[in-house]
Chains A and B, each alone.
Chain A
Amino acid sequence: MQTLTNKALAVQRQPMTFWERLYLINIIKGMMITFSHMFKKQPTIRYPEQKREFSPVFRGLHVLNRDEEGRERCTACGLCAVACPAEAITMEAAERMEGEENIYREEKYAAKYEINMLRCIFCGLCEEACPKDAIYLSETFAPANYTRKGFIYDKNDLLIPNPLTNAADYAKAKGVQA
């Protein structure tokens, strides 16, 4: 019969020979294959001790950024919340008081800033929308939690450590953020 492609293979229908019917040779061949796998490198990443390296474009957990002087960049403009397709972001704005210039960069700041990680789809649109470079997606992901409430991350969870008072943690956070 004319075949349409050169990929077609005729099915072998002839009865098995004596050696094939013994199966033993093929079984030994198969056992050699499995034995060779004993010496292969395991692709397993032993999770809590070893972590998988994410690509630089990985969109993970959010980070609220600070500037070089350790002041919060967010001005609670709400653009991220508007851009968010999952409506995961809520915030409340507040006015900066006298003497708080070293905490907040501009006159307005976010008194409350919450992201519901169960709603978030990690699309990164908040990152694109932010005019102040205040929100970034890092290279980690939200760890497991026992309650739904635990997945609502507030400012304490999101804010990057202060580069002036807590330089080591800041560098670490920067490191995973890349």
Chain B
Amino acid sequence: MTLLSFDWALVIEKLILIVIIVLTTLLITLYTTFGERKVAAILQDRPGPNRAGPFGLLQPLADGLKLIMKEEIIPTSASKWLFILGPGLAMTASLMTSAVIPWGTDIHLFGRTIALQVADINIGILYIFAVVSMGVYGIMIGGWASNNKFSLMSALRAASQAISYEIAMGLALIALLMTTGSLSLKTIVADQAAGNWWNVVYQPLGFIIFFICAMAECNRTPFDLPEAENELNFGYHQEYSSMKLGFYLFAEYVNMIMSSAIMASMYFGGYDLPFFDETTVAPNIAAMIGVGTLLIKIVLFVFLFMWIRWTIPRFRYDQLMNLGWKTMIPLALFNMLLTGALILAKL
């Protein structure tokens, strides 16, 4: 009976939380694709999709339905298992990041204190890095299993790009960790919410580096070389059709939302609403306000991603590598050094 002695309510609570988070993430993602098209349209003086439903709000559903109804094609020369595994892995990896993001302060329900975070692990940031690196496998496996030279080249690009930018990303984060002194996202956010300045004030350079690297990790323009249509036809998902293609496209948007959430949590105070004292309202309401604040921050970051995408053209491959290795990594190292020196000087 010792096996059953653990807290079953906790398991159920966490399961419900996971389901809610995954479903909301998917729903938001659905509308992010719509938002992307709308933002692109508005920035280009067009109305954008406006036919399906009021203001075109049903457009993502129509897109999803279309993708599901399409014929599923697996090329004869493709490695079947890996071909199917690829999009699943990409999607899983991008959704897994959501586990350590603190969505709000604790809420009290049915006499229990429920933390709005799936797992408060003390190495949260390390976990994020591990999962983000796994996202490359989805792309790599998909590109390789397609047995198509363009897909393979694109997958190689994605892998090398991700590896190059992860280093600068990690170095930028080390500087942040030096100031916070904790790897747990919950602690980092709670410190910022406790009335201190947001971390971006202490780490402006680090934030810019992290933001650029996050953009590169998400394969977003100007770093969307894995999807460079004019050189690689369509990119690593060229041979994919139906919902498998949809998963790849979806994973990109989930990645975008997740990196927005991470940036909001680590540099912009997470669920902290500025100039507002959460202790003045009931804890449950405060938690809800926190969730709303985090969502607004995510939306703002996602808009920033889109805004940049529809402004800047794509980098050339050598420019991308130059930026990553010759600019980002030295800058991140300098930032680390500077932070360390300042911390020492203060002590």
Are A and B a genuine interacting pair, yes or no? yes
Within 8 A of B (CB), among A11-27: 24, 27
Q: Is B43's CB under 8 angstroms from A38's CB?
A: yes
Interface size of B in residues (CB-CB distance below 8 Å): 13
List of B residues within 8 angstroms of A30 by Cβ: 311-312
Q: Is A34 an interface residue (CB 8 A)?
A: yes
Q: Is B307 an interface residue (CB 8 A)?
A: yes
A44 CA / B42 CA spacing, docked (Å)? 11
Interface secondary structure of B, over-half rule: loop
Range class of the A interface residue count: 10 to 19
Q: Is B45 an interface residue (CB 8 A)?
A: yes
List of B residues within 8 angstroms of A46 by Cβ: 47, 50
Q: Is B31 an interface residue (CB 8 A)?
A: no
A24 CA / B44 CA spacing, docked (Å)? 22
A27 CA / B309 CA spacing, docked (Å)? 11
List of B residues within 8 angstroms of A41 by Cβ: 45
Select the residue from B45, B208, B308 with max chain A CB neighbours within 10 A. Answer: B45
Q: Is A34's CB under 8 angstroms from B311's CB?
A: yes
Q: Is A34's CB under 8 angstroms from B310's CB?
A: yes
Within 8 A of B (CB), among A35-90: 35, 37-38, 40-44, 46
List of B residues within 8 angstroms of A94 by Cβ: none
Q: Is B308's CB under 8 angstroms from A38's CB?
A: no
Q: Is B46 an interface residue (CB 8 A)?
A: yes
Q: Is B312's CB under 8 angstroms from A27's CB?
A: yes
Residues of A within 8 A of B (CB): 24, 27, 30-31, 33-35, 37-38, 40-44, 46
Residues of B within 8 A of A (CB): 42-47, 50, 208, 307-308, 310-312
* 27 A-B pairs in the complex with CB atoms less than 8 angstroms apart: A24-B208, A27-B311, A27-B312, A30-B312, A31-B307, A31-B308, A31-B311, A34-B43, A34-B310, A34-B311, A35-B43, A35-B307, A37-B42, A37-B43, A37-B44, A37-B45, A38-B42, A38-B43, A40-B45, A41-B45, A42-B45, A42-B46, A42-B47, A44-B45, A44-B47, A46-B47, A46-B50
